[in-house]
């Protein structure tokens, strides 16, 4: 049976591969980096994760949209993904929490997608050749010559060198109060959280543990951080190439030099690595999905983690080493991937600072590493309590 012309959609990869399917979501054209994610659930959290800005998401799970979408499970204010690729889109959602169909949500946010393509073939291509520039075309664009579409795909810039955190960050600072998330009594501590593409679950987990979270734009400097008198600083996940984050690297060095406790996730981990003097590099096809095994060096425990990153820190596994920026002392790789030994976490041994490459807040995904938020809370309170007697004696 032929596909109606007005419903035709094409996925064009920069290697010249063209996949023909049917339009899904908004009609039009979109360009981005094609990447695959292995999650069987949590497609709404995936789409609303700002770390996917500039990327065309290929879902390896064949059935997408079964539970619809709702306003509760969003991880940000919008869908930041550039495009969406699925095999079998649900004809109608079947879940008591559903408020809209996924098709309607994609259309509302202007996300151009494609369905009824063989996502197994596409995923194997991306695993073999690596993530690549791509385009999704539907509506009037689907009738354009394929050679013209391929040229357009190849002319777009690569994700390497992309600076995107500033495009997804909050425009204005805001505060997440512990009382709004079940905490009773006074806050245990306050932190400044730099929004590089933060997911809503992260400050929610911190607030539920008694932390007042001051969320600041990605462009904030040390003056804005000091203005909220934080007990520590947090750097969030986010999109783009960490090699472009010179401003945030410089800021984090000021934070570390000031002796403030630090915790970073994903993009924050890469910025931490750069601040310590390590390089970062682009992975062939990245880690994306809530089923990534990670080894915890301190405990020998294997955690199944939720991940979304295409770049990694180039630091040595094994025994602790002196940081290339020697004033920060000794550093160790605290976590690494059991699939490919990619660095998944860093910890300073002489200062209160650590980071992880995965997403301990899950959303969606397993809860194996939620204890990292407890660890950060302990670090904040212990560092503040230890500093209090010294400040009293100095007075």
Q: Which residues pair with 53 in a beta bridge?
A: 81
Catalytic (active site) residue 75 = no
Between 255-269, 306-320, 375-389, the lowest mean confidence (pLDDT) is in 375-389
Residue 149: its pLDDT value, please? Answer: 98
The verdict on whether residue 297 carries a ligand-binding annotation is no
Domains of the chain: 8-155 (3.50.30.20), 165-387 (3.40.50.880)
Tens digits of residue pLDDT in 133-171: 999 999 999 999 999 999 999 999 999 999 999 999 999
Say whether 205 is catalytic.
Answer: no
Cis ω for the linkage preceding 271 (within 30 of 0): no
Distance CA 39, CA 42 (A): 7
Catalytic: 359? yes
Q: What confidence category does residue 390 fall into, taking pLDDT thresholds of 50, 70 and 90?
A: low
Question: Nearest Cα to 292, choosing from 338, 345, 357, 229?
Answer: 338
First to last CA, the chain: 83
- Is 66 labelled a binding residue? no
Confidence of residue 363 (pLDDT cuts 50, 70, 90): confident
Can you give the pLDDT at residue 392? 53
- Annotated catalytic residue: which of 105, 266, 287, 309? 266
How confident is the model over 74-86, as pLDDT tens digits?
999 999 999 999 9
Question: Average pLDDT, stretch 27-31?
Answer: 98
pLDDT score, position 3: 45
Q: Does the pLDDT value for residue 130 go beyond 60? A: yes
| pLDDT at position 393 | 58
pTM above 0.85, yes or no: yes
Ordered alpha helix ranges (H), the chain: 43-47, 102-108, 119-129, 146-155, 165-168, 201-208, 222-227, 246-257, 267-275, 371-394
Residue 270, annotated ligand binder? yes
Tell me which residue of 197, 203, 195, 326 sits closest to 256, measured CA to CA. Answer: 326
Does 65 count as an annotated binding residue? no
Catalytic residue (one of 75, 116, 332, 361) = 361
In the predicted model, is pLDDT for residue 391 greater than 80?
no
Report whether pLDDT(1) > 50: no
Does position 2 have pLDDT exceeding 50, yes or no? Answer: no
pLDDT at 394 over 60: no
User: Which pLDDT value is given to residue 313?
Assistant: 98
Burial of 57 (0-12, 13-18, 19+ CB in 10 A): buried
> Is 240 one of the annotated binding-site residues?
yes
């Amino acid at each position: 049976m032929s596909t109606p012309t007005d419903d035709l959609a094409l996925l064009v990869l920069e290697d010249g591969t063209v996949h023909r399917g049917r339009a899904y979501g908004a009609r039009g054209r979109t360009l981005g980096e094609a990447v695959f994610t292995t999650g069987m659930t949590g497609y709404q959290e995936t789409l609303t994760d700002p770390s996917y800005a500039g990327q065309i998401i290929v879902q390896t799970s064949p059935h997408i949209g079964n539970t619809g979408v709702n306003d509760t499970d969003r991880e940000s204010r919008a869908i930041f993904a550039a495009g969406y690729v699925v095999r079998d889109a649900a004809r109608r959602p079947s879940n008591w929490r559903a408020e809209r169909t996924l098709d309607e949500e994609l259309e509302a946010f202007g996300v151009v997608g494609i369905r009824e393509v063989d996502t197994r073939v596409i995923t194997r291509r991306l695993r073999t050749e690596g993530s690549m520039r791509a385009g999704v075309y539907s509506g009037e664009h689907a009738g354009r010559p394929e050679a013209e579409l391929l040229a357009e795909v190849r002319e777009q810039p690569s994700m390497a060198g992309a600076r995107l955190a500033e495009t997804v960050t909050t425009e204005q600072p805001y505060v997440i109060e512990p009382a709004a998330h079940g905490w009773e009594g006074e806050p245990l501590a306050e932190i400044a959280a730099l929004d590089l593409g933060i997911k809503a679950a992260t400050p929610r987990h911190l607030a539920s543990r008694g932390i007042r979270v001051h969320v600041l734009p990605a462009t904030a400097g040390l003056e804005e951080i000091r203005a909220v008198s934080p007990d520590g600083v947090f750097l969030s996940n986010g999109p783009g190439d960490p090699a472009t984050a010179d401003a945030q690297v410089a800021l984090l060095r000021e934070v570390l030099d000031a002796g403030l406790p630090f915790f970073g996730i994903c993009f924050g981990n890469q910025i931490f690595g750069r601040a310590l003097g390590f390089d970062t590099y682009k992975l062939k096809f990245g880690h994306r999905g809530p089923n990534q095994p990670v080894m915890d060096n301190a405990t020998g425990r294997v955690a199944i983690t939720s991940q979304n990153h295409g770049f990694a820190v180039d630091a040595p596994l094994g025994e602790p080493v002196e940081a290339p920026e020697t004033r920060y002392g000794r550093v160790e790789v605290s976590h690494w991937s059991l699939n490919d030994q990619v660095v998944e976490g860093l910890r300073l041994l002489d200062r209160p600072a650590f980071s992880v490459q995965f997403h301990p807040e899950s959303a969606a995904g397993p809860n194996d590493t939620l204890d990292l938020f407890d660890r950060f809370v302990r670090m904040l309170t212990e560092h503040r309590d230890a500093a209090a007697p010294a400040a009293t004696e100095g007075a």
